[in-house]
Each structure stands twice: as C-alpha cells, then as structure tokens.
C-alpha cells in the first residue's frame, strides 16, 4: 500500500497551489472596497445545484471556481460600507493564521502540544485585556452564543449543584433575570439549559436601554415572595440593538446581596474595555464573562470566549469521563488544560492561533486605537444625523459603536407605520444595489436603521455617504409607502 497521491499532495505542489490561493486572498482583500457590499447570488443559484461529483478534478480548476463563484459574492462584512448586525472586518493576520492553523490541524481537546498552550495563553491575555484575573478559567468557543451558553452552563451547575444528576430543582425553582434588550442567544441558552422561558424575567430598561435595577430588585422580591429562587442575573456589557451597557456595578451589588450568579454578556462590547475601561465599571466583578474575539479583536470567524472567575467553575459543569480519553497519569500526552472539560465540545479546531497572533501583532495599544476609532466613527455618524433634524432622527446617543437612526421627514404627515416601512425599504434598496449593508432593528416598537461599526476600514467619507444616501433614498421612497 502506498500513500494516495490525490490526497497526499507533494510539498512543492502545495507550495504552488498555495501561492495561487494566497494571491486570491490578496486580490480579494485589496479589491473589497471597489465591489458591492453584499454579494447577492440571486439568479446564479443554479451554480450550486450541480450533481454530486463521482470523480475528482484538478485542484487548479477548484481554485478557479472559487475565484469566479465564491470570492466575488461575499457577505460583505470586510467592506468599509458594511454596518449590519455586529459582524467585524477580518484582520488579514487572522486570515493567514487560519491557514496555518488548518495546516497543523490539531484537535484542541487537550494534550501537551503547542495549540493547547497557545489557547491557554490567548485566554489569559483576553482576561487581562478585560481587567479580569489572568488565571480565570476559560475556553474559546465558536462565538458569543456558545460563549454565553457555556458560561450559563457553569452558572447552572454552581447554583444547582445536583443539576447534572438530578436535573433542575422544581422547589424552589431557579429564576434567571435578563434585560428586555438581552441578546436572544441568552434566552436560547436558558431554554436549552432547562430553566424554561417562564422562569426568565425580562427586566425593563431606562431611556438609554439599560437594565433598570429598581425593576430587577422588584422582580427578585416578587419571586422570593412566590417561593421561587432568584439564581442568575445576566448584565449586558454592550447590547446588540444599541450598544447600551447595563449598570454592571449595581447589578454586581444586587447579585452579591442576593447570593446570585452574575454573568456579563460582553460578546460585543466587553473588549471595548481596552479603550474605555471606565464605561465598564463592575464588569470584572462578574462570575463569568462572554467576550468575542471575532467581534472587537477583528479575528475572522469563528472565535468567542467564555471566562469564569472561579477555578473549577467550568470543569464542574462539563467534565465527563470517557474510557478512551481518560489519561494514564504517566502519559507524555498530558498537558496543562483539558479544554474538552470546559465546554460541550470534544473535537475543537485551532481557533486560538488567530487570537494569539492578533494580540501579539497589535498589543493592547493597537486594539485600544482601533476600537477607539470605531467609537469615534459612531459618534461622528450620530453628529451627521443630528445635523439634519428636518429629515433624520437619532434614537439614542451611541454608547459604543452602534448608531440607531431613521429617516423621518418633518411636515410630510407620514405616520409611524409608514415610517417603519420606509426605513425598511431604504435598507433593502441598499442591500440589493450593493451600496451599503445595514440591518434595521426595532426599538420600543419602531423600526430604525442600525449602523454597527466594527470596521477599521470605514472612513469619514463612508459615513457622510451613508447619511447622504439615507436622505436621498428616503426622499425617493417616501411616496412608495
């Protein structure tokens, strides 16, 4: 038996193909700004309906296909005029890191190989960037949803020690508190972890979309009086809709007084503490934090992080022996961390390399500068909106890098329902024509255009163009609603 040459390419062939692939990467990154923001496939969908290949083909043909059918049709989040969701622009260093990570292709469940040490150090650096203990117990996840799920898994085990054997107690029943602006992945996690949606309290927010602590305290008191057990409170360190930061310090006081676990969802916002630590007072008092390198460390998808202050907090919730993994204490395989015991995943890719390289490439200072610039872009866009009170309305002053605004011309008699339709049509027109990409959101029942800026490529000119395009599209579309 011999190695199969179709799979086992010789090193020189990898080098040759790799150069072609890296040229594709460079052309793509260099040409992003000149193309449409959103690469809609539309009528080309039949490209992806071919029958299953029965035999293989030449790798050059594959790269040519990627060049023609994939690279020109991106989601758009590395384009300077992409402002949708919270999808960051990818740092080119991270793009290369992912290639190198796939080349070594380790399984990062544990062991004394380099990737495990890289992940351990990357997690410690993320903790330190947040001002959290350098030795907090952590794990990299696929993103913020899994980071919150994993942290809430640790919280569940801490507040209900028998949960892994006996399930959640019925009496007293544990209750989770979140703000009405919490990311829906926290609801999903509470649901999957068995808390039950009827036992998740959505606490009202103030005019700045921050959790109202008086309402939190009232809800806790009412639940105690009803014989329930207030168990977990989730504070948002940057909400997805507006970037609001809940009063984390006061929430930490309430959690301490009530004997509750305090989790901070900082998937989007927490890493902005590198640039503006004062805005996140109380974050470091959280029992657990979710923070996403694939947002404000600009690493390519995917990388989220869960951090838990107490050692053993994650392993108590997730460790599960397996005959074929249980290690001989004398085995040279043994390494510093079993990441498989810190979350639900066993096989895990080498997510840490791009995070580890990014932090070394830019350091704390580089990220403080880049995040600070995103915050400044948001403030500038808000100013541009406020310069035109005759036609534009800002929903709320930006706290981080999200600006919610709408086209609402004075004196035109457009009621709220027509304004909602109009603003959605504006966003749809841009997605279709490729000029911008914004995802609208709903605040207090009204639709707003929402610009989220996690994008080191966006210029002042892009922001002015966005404001002017809103005025133009609004004026053109107002008769259609």
Ligand X SMILES: Cc1ncc(COP(=O)(O)O)c(C=O)c1O
Residues making contact with ligand X (CB under 6 A): 86, 143-145, 148, 183, 185, 236, 238-240, 265, 267-268, 292, 304
Q: Please report how close the Cβ of residue 15 comes to ligand X at its closest, in angstroms.
A: 35
How far are the Cα atoms of 20, 280, 294, 414, 417 from residue 420, in angstroms, in the given order? 47, 33, 31, 10, 5
Four-residue CA torsion sign, 38, 42, 45, 47 = negative
CA distance 302 to 304: 7
DSSP letters spanning 331-393: -TT--S--GGGSSS-SS---THHHHHHHHHHHHHHHHHHHHHHHHHHHHHHHHHHHT-TTTEE
Q: Which is nearer to ligand X, 178 or 477 (CB)?
A: 178
Beta strands in 69-145 (DSSP E): 137-141
Helix axes 460-477, 416-433, angle to 10 degrees: 120
Q: Please report how close the Cβ of residue 433 comes to ligand X at its closest, in angstroms.
A: 25
CA distance 396 to 402: 10
CA distance 452 to 89: 12
Q: Please report how close the Cβ of residue 133 comes to ligand X at its closest, in angstroms.
A: 22
* DSSP letter (8 states) at residue 229: E
Q: Which is nearer to ligand X, 149 or 195 (CB)?
A: 149
Q: Please report how close the Cβ of residue 395 comes to ligand X at its closest, in angstroms.
A: 17
Q: Please report how close the Cβ of residue 191 comes to ligand X at its closest, in angstroms.
A: 15
Joined together, the tokens standing for residue 477 give: 């579309």
Joined together, the tokens standing for residue 428 give: 């749809």
Q: Please report how close the Cβ of residue 226 comes to ligand X at its closest, in angstroms.
A: 29
Q: Which is nearer to ligand X, 304 or 474 (CB)?
A: 304
Q: Is 313 in contact with 290 (CB distance < 8 Å)?
A: no
What 8-15 contacts at long range (C-beta under 8 Å, 24+ apart), as own/partner pairs, is 9/59, 13/59
Q: Please report how close the Cβ of residue 238 comes to ligand X at its closest, in angstroms.
A: 6
**Dihedral in degrees, nearest 10, Cα atoms 86, 89, 94, 99:** 100
Q: Which is nearer to ligand X, 153 or 238 (CB)?
A: 238
Q: Which is nearer to ligand X, 160 or 248 (CB)?
A: 248
Query: CB within 8 A of 286, min separation 6: which ones?
Result: 235, 248, 252, 262, 263, 264, 309
Q: Which is nearer to ligand X, 126 or 391 (CB)?
A: 126
Q: Nearest residue to ligand X, using CB?
A: 144
Q: Which is nearer to ligand X, 272 or 385 (CB)?
A: 272
Q: Is 272 in contact with 296 (CB distance < 8 Å)?
A: yes
Q: Please report how close the Cβ of residue 237 comes to ligand X at its closest, in angstroms.
A: 8
The SS3 assignment for 290 reads strand
Q: Please report how close the Cβ of residue 85 comes to ligand X at its closest, in angstroms.
A: 6
Q: Which is nearer to ligand X, 191 or 460 (CB)?
A: 191
Q: Please report how close the Cβ of residue 182 comes to ligand X at its closest, in angstroms.
A: 8
Q: Which is nearer to ligand X, 265 or 374 (CB)?
A: 265
Joined together, the tokens standing for residue 427 give: 């966003």
Q: Which is nearer to ligand X, 231 or 267 (CB)?
A: 267
């Amino acid at each position: 038996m011999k190695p199969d040459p179709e799979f086992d390419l010789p090193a020189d062939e990898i080098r040759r193909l790799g150069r072609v692939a890296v040229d594709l990467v460079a052309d793509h990154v260099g040409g992003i700004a000149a193309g449409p923001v959103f690469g809609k496939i539309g009528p080309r969908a039949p490209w992806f309906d071919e029958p299953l290949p029965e035999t293989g083909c030449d790798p050059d043909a594959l790269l040519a296909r990627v060049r023609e059918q994939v690279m020109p049709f991106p989601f758009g989040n590395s384009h300077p005029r992409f402002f949708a969701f919270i999808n960051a622009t990818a740092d080119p260093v991270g793009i290369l890191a992912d290639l190198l990570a796939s080349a070594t292709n380790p399984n990062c469940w544990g062991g004394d190989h380099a990737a495990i040490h890289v992940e351990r150090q990357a997690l410690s650096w993320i903790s330190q960037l947040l001002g959290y203990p350098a030795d907090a117990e952590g794990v990299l996840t696929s993103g913020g949803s899994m980071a919150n799920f994993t942290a809430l898994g640790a919280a569940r085990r801490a507040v209900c020690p028998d949960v892994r054997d006996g399930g959640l107690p019925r009496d007293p029943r544990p209750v989770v508190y979140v703000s009405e602006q919490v990311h829906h992945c926290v609801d999903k996690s509470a649901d999957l972890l068995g808390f039950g949606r009827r036992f998740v309290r959505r606490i009202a927010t103030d005019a700045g979309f921050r959790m109202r602590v008086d309402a939190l305290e009232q809800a806790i008191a009412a639940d105690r009086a009803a014989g329930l057990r207030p168990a977990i409170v989730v504070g948002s360190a940057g909400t997805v809709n507006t970037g609001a930061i809940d009063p984390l310090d006061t929430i930490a006081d309430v959690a301490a007084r009530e004997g509750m676990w305090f989790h901070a969802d900082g998937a989007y916002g927490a890493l902005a503490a590198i640039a503006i630590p004062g805005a996140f007072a109380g974050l470091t008092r959280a029992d657990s934090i979710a923070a996403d390198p694939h947002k404000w460390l600009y690493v390519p998808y995917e990388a989220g992080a869960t951090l838990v202050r107490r050692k053993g907090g994650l392993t108590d919730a997730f460790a599960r022996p397996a005959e074929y993994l249980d290690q001989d204490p004398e085995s040279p395989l043994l390494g510093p961390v079993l990441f498989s015991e810190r979350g639900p995943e066993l096989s895990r890719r080498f997510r840490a390399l791009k995070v580890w390289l990014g932090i070394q490439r830019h350091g704390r200072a580089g990220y403080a500068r880049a995040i600070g610039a995103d915050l400044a872009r948001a403030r500038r866009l808000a100013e541009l909106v406020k310069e035109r009170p005759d036609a534009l309305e800002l929903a709320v002053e930006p706290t981080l890098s999200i600006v919610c605004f709408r086209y609402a011309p004075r004196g035109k008699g457009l009621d709220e329902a027509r304004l909602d339709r109009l603003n959605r049509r504006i966003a749809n027109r841009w997605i279709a024509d490729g000029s911008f990409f914004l995802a609208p959101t709903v605040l207090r029942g009204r639709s707003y255009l929402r610009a989220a800026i996690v994008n080191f490529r966006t210029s002042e000119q892009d922001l002015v163009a966005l404001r002017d395009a809103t005025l133009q599209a609004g004026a053109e579309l107002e008769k259609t609603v």
